[in-house]
Amino acid sequence: MGERLRLGVIFGGQSVEHEVSVYSAQHVAEAAAERYEVVLIGVTKTGVWLTPDESKQQLARDEADFKKSLQSPGEAGVLARTDALSVLKEIDVAFPLIHGVFGEDGTLQGLLELAGLPYVGAGVAASAIGMDKALMKRILKQAGLNVADHIVVRSTQYRAGGDEIARAVEASIGYPAFVKPANGGSSVGISKVRSREDLGRALCLGFRHDRKVLVETAISAREIECAVLGNDDPQPSPLGEIRYTGEFYDYAAKYLDTDTELIVPADVDAETAQRIQGLAVEGYRALDCAGMGRMDFFLTDDGEVYIDEINTLPGFGPVSMYPLLWQQAGLSYGDLIEKLVQLGLERHGERVDG
């Protein structure tokens, strides 16, 4: 048997999804160890890169799921310990698992491109667009795909005239509505609003997480998800459905509420399922995604389908929706990891250096 590939699992990061990333990495590392030489590369909440030994020690701490974080007292930033970056020379392919900003938004992908390393998942452009809900929805709409009505508000606009923004929302969106940071994940910073008073508070919260927010009409619908796998010939998975007890699918509902249900497969008639799967592939291609993506949809009672968003780096624990959907299709967790690594190598092999 030939020498095993060295797979660098990059995890943690500076976003509000740090603990989610640590959870994903723990399970990917365990499953991948059967087929690859796994090299753990942790990034702390202050952006400091850890050595593989430090990463392994911190990941091994006995703490509850979604509670474990990576620590680096007294240092900050990617350049704080440049020697730790040299680990990139020791791996054959990277599996980026940093959710949210500075990981899922094209920045980490750009670093890996500069390093000449193959990596799992979408490239720089698709990652950046997929992370920015405003840009993502604009491109999906231009591609002829159905997205919820929304307006984009920048913090400078709000500071210049909050009442004017409120009037614009009431004229074009109305209530109830959702306020979302344009760049964010795991529903952090999202609020449901029913009045002008709610709107002001929600915008202030959204601007704590990004300089740009969306105000989007609230759609009464089932929440359906479809995983997509592939590069130039992407394939859709069976569908899943999210059911939760709260006001909306917020961070607590996603990771902490035991009453939240991930229903796989979703109870959707064959014709509607096929339509949603086709839309998932269309959206994936419109954004020029690669490797993987999870497309999230709203399905109304009258059969209308809206694309909510794409997640180019979805949660990757064994009971996360993305791997669950592929398990439903007959692809095991370990086989899914291997397929993604092969897709990353394939895409890197097609790279054209200018």
Beta bridge mates, 227 = 294
Q: Is 170 a catalytic residue?
A: no
**Does residue 105 contact residue 113 with C-beta atoms inside 8 Å?**
no
Q: Is 309 a catalytic residue?
A: yes
Count of CB atoms within 10 A of residue 346's CB? 15
Half-sphere exposure of 292 (CA within 13 A, CB side): 28
Catalytic residue among 186, 187, 191, 320: 186
Catalytic residue among 127, 132, 183, 294: 294
Q: Is 285 a catalytic residue?
A: no
Catalytic residue among 36, 158, 249, 255: 255
- By DSSP bridging, strand 212-217 and strand 191-193 are unpaired
Q: Is 267 a catalytic residue?
A: no
How deeply is 177 buried, as exposed, middle or buried, from its count of CB atoms within 10 A (0-12, 13-18, 19+)? Answer: buried
Q: Is 320 a catalytic residue?
A: no
Beta bridge mates, 6 = 37
Catalytic residue among 127, 237, 311, 320: 311
Catalytic residue among 12, 15, 17, 250: 17
Q: Is 183 a catalytic residue?
A: no
CA–CA distance from 305 to each of 168, 228, 241 (Å)?
A: 26, 17, 14
Catalytic residue among 210, 241, 309, 338: 309
Catalytic residue among 106, 185, 315, 317: 315
The residue type of 310 is I
Beta bridge mates, 222 = 299
Catalytic residues: 17, 186, 255, 294, 296, 309, 311, 315
